[in-house]
Structure 1
Amino acid sequence: MEHFENNSSRRKFLKSGLVAAATFTIVPRHVLGGKNFLAPSDKLYVAGVGIGGKGYSNLRNIYNSGNAVLSHLCDVDDRRAAKTREEHPKAKYYHDWRELFEKERKKFDAVCVSTPDHNHAVIALGAMQLKKHVFVEKPLTHDIYEARVLKQAAQKYKVITQMGNQGSSNDGLRKMQEWYEAGLLGDIHTVYCWTDRPVWPQGIPWSKSPAQVPKELNWDLWLGTAKNRDYVEKLVPFNWRGWWDFGTGALGDMGCHLLDAPCSVLNLQSPTHVEASVGTVYVDEFKRGYFPESCPPSSHVILTFKETPTNKTKLKLHWMDGGIKPERPEELDAGDNFGGGNGTLFIGTKGKMMCGTYNQNPRLLPVSRNLEVNVPETKKRVEGSTNGHYKQWVDACIAGYGKQEVSSPFETAASLTESLLIANLAIRAHDVQVVKDGKATYPGRNIKLIWDDANMRVTNFDEVNQFIKRDYRDGFKLSI
Structure 2
Amino acid sequence: MTEEPKDAPKNPTRRDFIKNTSLAAAGFMIVPRFVLGGKGFIAPSDMLQVAGVGAGGKGQSDIANFAKSGKANIAYLCDVDDRQAATSVKNFPKAKYYKDWRELLDKEHKHIDGVSVSTPDHNHAIIAYSAMQLGKGVYVQKPMTHDIWEARLLTEAAKKYKVVTQMGNQGSSNDGTRQMAEWYDAGIIGDVHTVYCWTNRPVWPQGIAWPSPQPNIPKELDWNLWLGTAPKKDYVDKLVPFNWRGWWDYGTGALGDMGCHLVEAPFRVLGLQYVKDVQASVGTVFVDEFKQGHFPESCPPSSHITMTFPKTGKTQGDVTLHWMDGGIQPERPEELGPNEHFPGEQGNGTLFIGTKGKMYASTYSDGATLLPLARTKEVTVPKKYDRVPHGAEGHYAQWVEGCIAGYGKMEMSSSFEKAGPLTEALLMANLAVRGHDLRGGQIKYEWDNNAMKVSNFDAVNEYVKRNYREGFVLKA
Q: Do they superpose with TM above 0.5?
A: yes
Paired residues for 1:328-407 under 5 Å: 328-338=332-342, 339=344, 340-384=346-390, 386-407=392-413
Residue 435 of structure 1 aligns with which residue? none
1:281-332 Cα shifts (integer Å, max 9, x gaps): 0012222101000000000000011222220022110000000000000111
CA distance in 2, matches of 1:24, 1:350: 48
1:271 aligns with 2:271: no
CA distance in 1, matches of 2:12, 2:331: 55
Greater mean alpha carbon deviation, residues 157-166 or residues 302-311: 302-311
1:48 aligns with 2:44: no
Q: CA deviation at 1:20?
A: 8.5
Q: Amino acid of the residue matched to residue 67 of structure 1?
A: K
Q: Amino acid of the residue matched to residue 381 of structure 2?
A: V
Query: 2:399–2:412: 8 Å Cα contact kept in structure 1?
Result: yes
Q: CA deviation at 1:370?
A: 1.2
CA distance in 1, matches of 2:10, 2:277: 44
Q: Amino acid of the residue matched to residue 114 of structure 1?
A: S
Q: CA deviation at 1:209?
A: 3.3
Q: CA deviation at 1:123?
A: 0.2
Residue 131 of structure 1 aligns with which residue? 135
Q: CA deviation at 1:34?
A: 4.8
1:478 aligns with 2:474: yes
What secondary structure does 1:320 align onto? strand
Query: 2:13–2:406: 8 Å Cα contact kept in structure 1?
Result: no
Greater mean alpha carbon deviation, residues 382-391 or residues 467-476: 382-391
Query: 1:26–1:109: 8 Å Cα contact kept in structure 2?
Result: no
Q: CA deviation at 1:52?
A: 0.1
CA distance in 2, matches of 1:26, 1:351: 47
Q: CA deviation at 1:270?
A: 1.0
Greater mean alpha carbon deviation, residues 87-96 or residues 20-29: 20-29
1:317-373 Cα shifts (integer Å, max 9, x gaps): 000000000000011122334222000000000110000000000000000111221
What secondary structure does 1:168 align onto? helix
Q: Amino acid of the residue matched to residue 446 of structure 1?
A: Q
Query: 2:174–2:392: 8 Å Cα contact kept in structure 1?
Result: no
1:414 aligns with 2:420: yes
CA distance in 2, matches of 1:106, 1:175: 41
CA distance in 2, matches of 1:31, 1:183: 47
Identity %: 60
Q: Amino acid of the residue matched to residue 9 of structure 2?
A: A
Structure 1 residues 34 and 219: CA distance shift in structure 2, 3 A: farther
Residue 61 of structure 2 aligns with which residue? 57
| Aligned Cα root-mean-square deviation (Å) | 2.0
What secondary structure does 2:424 align onto? helix
Which runs of no fewer than 5 residues in structure 1 stay unpaired?
Answer: 6-13, 433-441
Structure 1 residues 75 and 30: CA distance shift in structure 2, 3 A: farther
CA distance in 2, matches of 1:430, 1:307: 27
Paired residues for 1:42-191 under 5 Å: 42-191=46-195
Q: Amino acid of the residue matched to residue 343 of structure 1?
A: G
CA distance in 2, matches of 1:35, 1:117: 43
CA distance in 1, matches of 2:391, 2:444: 42
CA distance in 2, matches of 1:389, 1:28: 22
What secondary structure does 1:72 align onto? strand
Query: 1:29–1:35: 8 Å Cα contact kept in structure 2?
Result: no
1:441-475 Cα shifts (integer Å, max 9, x gaps): x35x2211011111100011100111100000011
Which runs of no fewer than 5 residues in structure 2 stay unpaired?
Answer: 25-32, 34-41
What secondary structure does 2:320 align onto? strand
Greater mean alpha carbon deviation, residues 285-294 or residues 117-126: 285-294
Q: CA deviation at 1:185?
A: 1.3
Query: 2:174–2:391: 8 Å Cα contact kept in structure 1?
Result: no
CA distance in 1, matches of 2:218, 2:7: 38
Paired residues for 1:431-450 under 5 Å: 431-432=437-438, 442-443=439-440, 445-450=441-446
What secondary structure does 1:451 align onto? strand
Q: CA deviation at 1:249?
A: 0.2
Residue 303 of structure 1 aligns with which residue? 307
CA distance in 2, matches of 1:354, 1:133: 34
Residue 238 of structure 1 aligns with which residue? 242
Query: 1:132–1:159: 8 Å Cα contact kept in structure 2?
Result: yes
Paired residues for 1:245-264 under 5 Å: 245-264=249-268
Residue 320 of structure 1 aligns with which residue? 324
Q: Amino acid of the residue matched to residue 366 of structure 1?
A: P
CA distance in 2, matches of 1:349, 1:23: 49
Structure 1 residues 360 and 33: CA distance shift in structure 2, 3 A: same
1:386-433 Cα shifts (integer Å, max 9, x gaps): 52001111111111111111100001101010111011011011221x
CA distance in 1, matches of 2:371, 2:471: 53
Residue 435 of structure 2 aligns with which residue? 429
1:188-212 Cα shifts (integer Å, max 9, x gaps): 1110000000000000000133341
1:107-142 Cα shifts (integer Å, max 9, x gaps): 110000000000000000000000000000000000
Aligned residues: 456
Q: What TM-score do the two structures reach when normalised by structure 2?
A: 0.92
Residue 439 of structure 1 aligns with which residue? none
Q: CA deviation at 1:68?
A: 0.3
CA distance in 1, matches of 2:456, 2:233: 33
CA distance in 1, matches of 2:303, 2:385: 35
CA distance in 1, matches of 2:206, 2:85: 27
Q: CA deviation at 1:19?
A: 6.1
Q: Amino acid of the residue matched to residue 194 of structure 1?
A: W
